[in-house]
Structure 1
Amino acid sequence: MINIKLNINEIFYSLQGEGREVGLPSVFIRLTGCPLRCTYCDTEYAFKGNNLMAIDEIIKKIKQYDTPYICVTGGEPLAQKNCCLLLNELVKNNYQVSLETSGSINIQDVNVSVSIVMDIKTPDSGEFEQNKYTNIKKLTTKDQLKFVIRSRADFDWSVAILSQYPTAAGTLFSPVFGDITPTQLADWILDQQLNVRMQLQLHKLLWGDEKGK
Structure 2
Amino acid sequence: MQQASLKVNEVFESLQGEGSYTGAPSIFVRLQGCPVGCSWCDTKHTWQINLEDESSSEDVMAQNFESSQWFTVTPASLFDLFSQQGYVAKHIVITGGEPCMFDLRDLTELAHSLGYTTQIETSGTFEILCSSKTWVTVSPKVNMKGGYEMREDALLRANEIKHPVAMQKHIDELDSLLTLLPKDKQPLIYLQPISQQKRATDFAVKTCIQRNWRLSLQTHKFIGLE
- What TM-score, normalized by structure 1, do the two folds share? 0.84
Contact 1:122 1:147 in 2 (8 A): no
Cα drift, residue 68 of structure 1? 1.1
Contact 2:167 2:200 in 1 (8 A): no
> Which of 169, 178, 181 does residue 187 from structure 2 map onto?
169
**Unaligned 5+ runs, structure 1:** none
Q: Which amino acid aligns with 2:38?
A: C
Task: For 1:189 and 1:25, locate their aligned partners in 2 and report how far apart those are by CA, in whole Å.
Answer: 26
Task: For 1:201 and 1:13, locate their aligned partners in 2 and report how far apart those are by CA, in whole Å.
Answer: 16
Q: Could you say which residue in structure 2 is the equivalent of 1:14? A: 14
2:100 matches 1:90: no
Task: For 1:104 and 1:160, locate their aligned partners in 2 and report how far apart those are by CA, in whole Å.
Answer: 16
Cα drift, residue 206 of structure 1? 1.8
Q: How does 1:146-161 map to 2 (within 5 A)?
A: 146-161=162-177
2:87 matches 1:71: no
Q: How does 1:11-160 map to 2 (within 5 A)?
A: 11-48=11-48, 49-50=53-54, 51-63=71-83, 64-81=86-103, 83-107=104-128, 109-123=129-143, 125-126=144-145, 130-139=149-158, 143-160=159-176
Q: Which amino acid aligns with 1:197?
A: R
Cα deviation code 1:22-70 (max 9, x no counterpart): 0121110111111211111111111234211232221012232111111
Cα drift, residue 137 of structure 1? 2.3
Task: For 1:150 and 1:181, locate their aligned partners in 2 and report how far apart those are by CA, in whole Å.
Answer: 4
Task: For 2:213 and 2:82, locate their aligned partners in 1 and report how far apart those are by CA, in whole Å.
Answer: 33
Cα deviation code 1:80-106 (max 9, x no counterpart): 23x322122112211011011111112
Contact 2:152 2:180 in 1 (8 A): no
Q: Compared with structure 1, are the counterparts of its residues 4 and 103 closer, same or farther at alpha carbon in structure 2 (3 Å cutoff)?
A: closer
- What TM-score, normalized by structure 2, do the two folds share? 0.79
Q: Could you say which residue in structure 1 is the equivalent of 2:208? A: 189
More deviation in 13-22 or 170-179?
170-179
Cα drift, residue 129 of structure 1? 5.0
More deviation in 88-97 or 155-164?
155-164
Cα drift, residue 164 of structure 1? 4.6
Q: Give the share of equivalent positions with the same residue, in percent.
A: 25
Cα drift, residue 5 of structure 1? 2.4
Contact 2:125 2:149 in 1 (8 A): yes
Cα drift, residue 4 of structure 1? 4.4
Q: Compared with structure 1, are the counterparts of its residues 2 and 129 closer, same or farther at alpha carbon in structure 2 (3 Å cutoff)?
A: closer
- Structure 1 consecutive aligned stretches of length 4 or more whose deviation exceeds 3 Å: 1-4, 125-129, 178-181
CA RMSD of aligned residues (A): 2.2
**Unaligned 5+ runs, structure 2:** 55-70
Task: For 1:120 and 1:128, locate their aligned partners in 2 and report how far apart those are by CA, in whole Å.
Answer: 13
Cα drift, residue 196 of structure 1? 1.4
